[in-house]
Structure 1
Amino acid sequence: MRALMLFLLLAAPARAEGERPGIFDYYVMALSWTPAWCATEGDARGADQCDARHDHGFTLHGLWPQFETGWPSFCRGTARSPSHEQTAAMADIMGSGGLAWHQWKKHGRCTGLTAEAYFDLSRRAYGRIARPDIFRRLERPIRLPAHVVEEAFLEANPGLAPDMVTVTCRSGRIAEVRICLTRDLEPRPCGRAARRDCRQGDVMMEVVR
């Protein structure tokens, strides 16, 4: 039994909390397919970002510091928390200021950057990756293998390779595209813990509202 418990602990991805900021190896940029999030969570919450006037497709979930194995979170640090104006200003690419605040608290502080610099870096990372326009033009929900979404991102971004991108799914829907980047925001291979490709077969791709 002790040997089994040790094996499970060693096999699980290492995740630290309360670490010192600035110590990490690379970033994972997570792009959420907003229509799927709205269908599974946002509509029930009455989330403003799900209102059709916003026309959200792939929005920035977050820019997450990573170790080669595992990731830090909720790091200790003295950086000043962002103002309401700073978090609200991220809603155009993140969907809400509340998400921006949460991402700073859980991930941003671990970068060792100020809140202003972290949000600026997040915006630059988001702008460097082309989001395939074909998914915005869907007229009805479709079912497709997750690798089709990955291939569309690879085609739209010639600098990406398959081991730099992972597509996740949840509740039978495409959920996120995660792209691994160096600390200078150049594409790089993902560490093992960051590779979480969808294994559900054909899944739903919701329509932009």
Structure 2
Amino acid sequence: MEPIGGYTLALIWAPEHCARPVPGAESFQCGPIGRGGFVLHGLWPDGQGKSWPQWCTDAAILPPGIITTYHAATPSAQLMQHEWAKHGTCMGITPKAYFKRSSRLFYRIRFPDMVTLAGQTMDAGSFTRAFAAANPGMTSDMVTLNLDRDGWLREVWLCLDTKFRRERCRTPTRGNRIVRIRLPGAAAAA
């Protein structure tokens, strides 16, 4: 296995996913959305350099009990299986330990009022500061945004060290890019 230099906790902004569903993909996030509109994408080990450990060992099908137990954070058996195979197998732990760790990290996150933020014109720096302000001890440089080419928020990525503590991201989000936030039920722009 490649050495791990830290981790990324990836959070999907569900309203954007639901506004632009991928044909044939599971629309797991498009039902009632809890946790402020976010769902857990996954916990990803980061390499020490420019590479990231992925697909480290063969992954058996996840036991139904694990899917049932951790389904609230990542409400898709398909995504859970993918995250375990691609990322979890590189961490040297069991599937149960992987999902327990990622769910605990997810449930510790506090989310800003996304409805209020969506009503504002804001740049990425303002958004990361608002996200950090909702979480005691977090600073805006511990948050990276995944935006589409038009500036719509797709995901929030939180940077963690090797002990799963928040840390400054190696590649912070450029602060001057405009962030657009789609709210639940909003249609995709044509």
TM-score (ref. length: structure 1) = 0.75
Compared with structure 1, are the counterparts of its residues 123 and 138 closer, same or farther at alpha carbon in structure 2 (3 Å cutoff)? same
1:80-127 deviation line (CA, Å, top 9, x unaligned): 542133124333112312111110010011111100000000011112
4+ long deviations beyond 4 Å: 42-46, 138-143
Identity fraction in percent: 31
Which residue of the partner structure matches residue 148 of structure 1?
126
Q: Distance in 1 between matches of 2:121 and 2:25?
A: 25
Alignment of 1:54-133 (within 5 A): 54-55=33-34, 57-69=37-49, 70-76=51-57, 81-132=61-112
Q: Distance in 1 between matches of 2:4 and 2:184?
A: 35
Q: Distance in 2 between matches of 1:122 and 1:159?
A: 19
Letter in 2 for 1:82: L
Pairing partner for 2:154 from 175, 182, 201? 175
**Aligned 8 A contact 1:168 1:198 in 2:** no
Q: Distance in 1 between matches of 2:15 and 2:128?
A: 18
**Aligned 8 A contact 1:25 1:65 in 2:** yes
TM-score (ref. length: structure 2) = 0.81
Superposition RMSD in Å: 2.7
Q: Distance in 2 between matches of 1:139 and 1:187?
A: 23
Q: Distance in 1 between matches of 2:174 and 2:68?
A: 32
Structure 1: 5+ residue runs without aligned partners? 1-19
Q: Distance in 2 between matches of 1:187 and 1:156?
A: 14
Letter in 1 for 2:19: A
Structure 2: 5+ residue runs without aligned partners? 186-190
Q: Computing the radius of gyration over CA atoms, which structure comes out larger, 1 or 2?
A: 1
Which residue of the partner structure matches residue 19 of structure 2?
39
Q: Indicate the SS of the match to 1:73.
A: coil
- Give the number of aligned pairs: 182
Compared with structure 1, are the counterparts of its residues 138 and 117 closer, same or farther at alpha carbon in structure 2 (3 Å cutoff)? same
Q: Could you say which structure has the higher helix fraction?
A: 1
Q: Indicate the SS of the match to 1:175.
A: strand
